[in-house]
Each structure stands twice: as C-alpha cells, then as structure tokens.
Amino acid sequence: MSTFEPWLNSAETGEAFTHCIHCKLPLLEIDSTWLINKDFHKGECTLEYAICDGCRELTSEDFSEDSKKAVRNFLENEIPWDERLQRFVLHPLSRMENCVACNCPRELAEDYATSILMDSVGEIHFGPLPLLICGGCIELMSERLSQSTRDSWRRFLEEHFDYPPQLSSLPGLL
Ligand SMILES: [Zn+2]
Ligand SMILES: [Zn+2]
C-alpha cells in the first residue's frame, strides 16, 4: 500500500466518506475537522464511520471524567511519541503498519483499529493521528474505562450499527 486511501475510503462503498454518522451532515460543508474510524478483525473491516467534531464532543460528554483521564494517561504514558513521530515524519505510511502503542506489526494483530483526523477541506491532518492500535492495546485501554462509559459507548454503537462488534475502540479521545 503506497497511499492512505484504503484507510480513508469506506470499505463498504470504496468511496470517500461523505456524511457524519451522527448528525448526517455532509462533511465537506461543515466547517470543522472530522474523524474516520475503522475496526478490523482478521483483516476485514467490521465497523467504519466518519464523525464530525461536534458530534464527537457530544458523544464523549457521556463518558466519565475518570475514563477520559485514564485513556489520556494510557496514550501519554504507553506510547513513546518522540520516537513514533520521528519515524512517522520519515515514513508517513508506517503509521498504519504497526500498533502505535506496543509496536506489533499489523499482520500479527487479529484485531486492530485505525483513526484518521481530517481537516475541514478533507485533507489528512497529521499529528498524533493517523494511527493504528492493536486489539490487545485497545483492551488494555478499555479495562480502564468505567462501566457507565462502556455503556454509553455501547449505546452509541447500537444506535448506528445493526451488529456492533464486541471489541471496539473509543472515538476521538486523543
Ligand atoms: Zn456530526
Ligand atoms: Zn498494541
């Protein structure tokens, strides 16, 4: 893979995401950044959506402060950002090759999730994102979430998907 395209486009349609999953507004017409999140199981995309900043904030309002703090701590303490960002500058696509936290190769991860931040005109915004995180690390992070946060995340998934997967990363806590 020599471009981010496979991570950007919908696995279902093969085209770019056009609308926010929550408010249903056209992404290019909202003056804000948005996230493209995908979950994979054994190499197959099991869940995917784009969500605008406003909806992401609304959704995470239901998450407890303790949970948000726990995830922030995990991301700050478990990821050697200096090393990662140096590598990402030289090899942008290496972001999608290994887990950002434990560095395991994507091919060895049964489950993983990807998250990409887009700017308001639809270009990738490079920072801590785009990133890929493996199922093991998602689980480690999820263990630190309160039950109420897990419940509200589950409600969000059930509202938008017929068959939400058991293991799913939280949107946009970075
Ligand atoms: Zn929205
Ligand atoms: Zn990992």
List the chain domain ranges: 5-160
Q: How far apart are the first and last CA of the chain?
A: 26
Closest CA to 132 of 110, 152, 116, 150: 116
β-bridge mates for residue 116, sequence order: 36
What is the value of pTM for the model shown? 0.91
18 Cα–ligand 1 center, Å: 11
- Name beta bridge partners: 49: 37
CA–centroid distance, 112 to ligand 2, in Å, is 8
What pLDDT shows up at residue 151? 87
Residues 88, 128, 160, 47, Cα dihedral to 10°? 20
The pLDDT of residue 157 is 87
Give the tokens for residue 47. 């869940």
Give the pLDDT of residue 174: 43
pLDDT tens digits for the chain (174 residues)?
579 999 999 999 999 999 999 999 999 999 999 999 999 999 999 999 999 999 999 988 888 899 889 988 998 998 999 999 999 999 999 999 999 999 999 999 999 999 999 999 999 999 999 999 999 999 888 888 888 888 888 888 889 988 766 656 655 444
State the residue for tokens 């990807």: 114
Closest CA to 67 of 158, 153, 163: 153
Q: How far apart are the C-alpha atoms of 86 and 90, rounded to whole Å?
A: 7
For residue 168, the model assigns a pLDDT of 62
CA 158 – ligand 2 centroid, Å: 26
Residue 153 structure tokens: 């995340």
**Ligand found nearest the CA of 171:** 1
Gap from CA of 127 to ligand 1 centroid (Å): 22
Residue type, 68: K
Beta strands in the chain (DSSP E): 34-41, 44-52, 111-118, 131-134
